[in-house]
Structure 1
């Protein structure tokens, strides 16, 4: 890019000075280049890394939003709010669809689960409404859900996975049986799955079924947990469908090998704000684009594995998380990622705001150089954000989203919220 600018500048200068001046100019340039070569040959210790650009925080337009770290207090209005902490922990042990099939990388949805109507809704919920009384009767405690697809219409692939926690193995088994009973209907048939290598208790509870052989469901009890899966494959092939459902079951059992249920009395003691990271994260009570689906609670922390379920492209984000050394993520009005160091933070910012085929760059908020803002061609699936902006400060990256106005433009609050989030990080000390 710098070479391109130099060539353009040289042509412009040539046009101004005329052709006769070119030999003299060329000679002068040769001297400059020779001198630069000598300077470039000097040994400089260390490695070049990106640096932060100074920002005058007093000139940022933050509107009504906080511009300094806040005191975060977990919000508990119902028992579901407390159980959401356990659900967020369970996301760490939920298998990523892209680890089963790298093509199935694009976000469709992700959320924590409870027995509330937000988890059971025929129109918008992850599970059908007739599953809700089964979950309530068997005292569903917590759960985690994700689904992704391959972004193809002609050869569609789709993987949904969820794990739901119940009080006992007996209630988990009863819930699994109840869910399966609701799936039984005329025209529906079983899909055989090879379970010979599973433990006896898991093998006995596995049931897979389908109405059309290009899609099917899986329900299996495993200890106090119920595994639920849904798959779509590109062809009508019961053997291929059974193979895909088996892959999903094996991946989920492997992912949850280390998952142990937190005793109910210990859930309030689970960490909710390690190192005060949620105090550095924009609160979510200000804007509709700040809100996750019902039941998610107000603000939460995630391991990198848990946070990956919310990323638009799981394959890209997984590699970026690893390269940047992400070790903690906070999700509230914005999403804040803690990386290894400043250079890693800039690398993560680049990955999270890489332009898709029909995406566009949009201007940074006034006064913030270390930002990258884009407009998505398709809104982000969970919060329906069409505008995203990622800022870097120290080892932190923060991503702020906004829904488009009716006219298609970004709301005025978008720049204010980005500026406020940057200021919160910058004033954290």
Structure 2
């Protein structure tokens, strides 16, 4: 089992903070928002090169896209670490949550050079990642759920994936998981870390735990790690059992969108740096993409947000217009880490903020707007781009029925 260093996360993922930081802006009440909308001339909005025309995405266009959509569908059934143990209250924006290539999602914590050999029938995967401490001074918990065509192939893959990872280091030692005797697991006796591969139905659940503090203190304690693996599986296994994977011969019939959410988001520019593809999800699935899962959970539950999409902006669908306007305000607001920035030209309903905190990789500018049931959030290193994104998103929301 490979060991993850505190500074080993990829730096190409700066734009992932757009989804993860959730440090956006405030809005007004629903009735005021609707009244303001009636006075906005869409033709006068500066939308730059963004397309605000309505569209229909239809069915997937390639097998790779189908695999991605299947992974996103699975994501609605993968528990967030917060659901497993409330200690895991911090997200991680530097993780490829949706994956078809294990190199980007698992390459830092598992030997993936022989992945294709061990799991040749792998379809797609969705990964959840949580921390007990935001600054890697606590415990990391990761669950990667991988789909296979049938139960036998999942069973075979779990054993083979553990074997090739075990063979990657002569320090790895097999560990039983008493409550799940079919699990294949190992650890390094001088490191407070463990990896477990467990087949259930058509899925393989790879659970990885790393305790930074105990590693730093050069302490090892196996029983708590085994107990946490079991606790994690207790939550993950029954939840993913509710998901029905698409038969392999029907993958090309999958719809790209979910309830028109992606149709209502502007497209992500090719210049953006990102780990996860555009996607539409249940509202609660947003917890996998944010830094503050507890705070976000409270906000979306209060707003009755049942859908979430990420593309060129982040978009939530709330209970009604009043709840959407309140969600826009709740998901950020002006704090000591931000100062006000200019609103987009001719869009007074939107708000923009500039980040002035100490996080070196944080995106600098954030804008938001609410329209009808939808609350939208943009982010960019450039204020004009953040303004153009939110202006284009507003126009798209108005134009899309």
- Is TM (by shorter chain) over 0.5? yes
Alignment size in residue pairs? 358
Which of 55, 77, 82 is the equivalent residue of 1:70? 55
- 5+ residue gaps, structure 2: 1-28, 215-219
Give 1:252 shift: 1.0
The question of whether the paired residues in 1 share the 8 Å contact of 2:159 and 2:184 is answered with no
1:309 alignment partner in structure 2: 288
Partners of 2:31 and 2:96 in 1: how far apart? 33
Whichever of the two has the greater Rg, that structure is 1
Q: Once the 2 structures are TM-superposed, how far is the Cα of residue 194 of structure 1 from its aligned partner? A: 3.1
In structure 1, stretches of 5+ residues that fail to align are 1-47, 405-409
In structure 1, how many angstroms separate the alpha carbons of the residues matched to 2:268 and 2:129?
Answer: 24
Asked if 1:425 is matched to 2:397, the reply is yes
CA distance in 2 between partners of 1:155 and 1:118 (Å): 24
- Between the aligned partners of 1:189 and 1:356, the Cα distance in structure 2 is 48
- Measured in 1, the distance between the counterparts of 2:47 and 2:222 equals 56
SS at match of 1:106: coil
What pairs up with 1:111-260 in 2 under 5 angstroms? 111-115=97-101, 117-119=103-105, 121-122=107-108, 127-134=110-117, 137-153=119-135, 155-184=137-166, 185-195=169-179, 203-233=181-211, 234-235=213-214, 236-260=220-244
Backbone CA RMSD of aligned residues: 2.8
Supply the distance in 1 between the matched residues of 2:275 and 2:136 (Cα, whole angstroms).
31
Equivalent in the alignment of 2:300 = 321
Cα deviation code 1:252-277 (max 9, x no counterpart): 11321312222123333344324433
- Shift of the alpha carbon at 1:164? 0.3
Name which of 60, 65, 68 aligns with 2:45: 60
Change (3 A) 1:292 1:188: closer
Query: 1:66 is paired with a residue of what secondary structure?
Result: coil
Give the Cα separation in 2 of the matches to 1:142 and 1:153. Answer: 30
TM-score, normalised via structure 2 length = 0.79
Query: 2:59, 2:255 within 8 Å by CA — same for their partners in 1?
Result: no
- Provide TM-score, normalisation by structure 1: 0.75
Higher relative contact order (CA closer than 8 Å, sequence separation 6+): 2
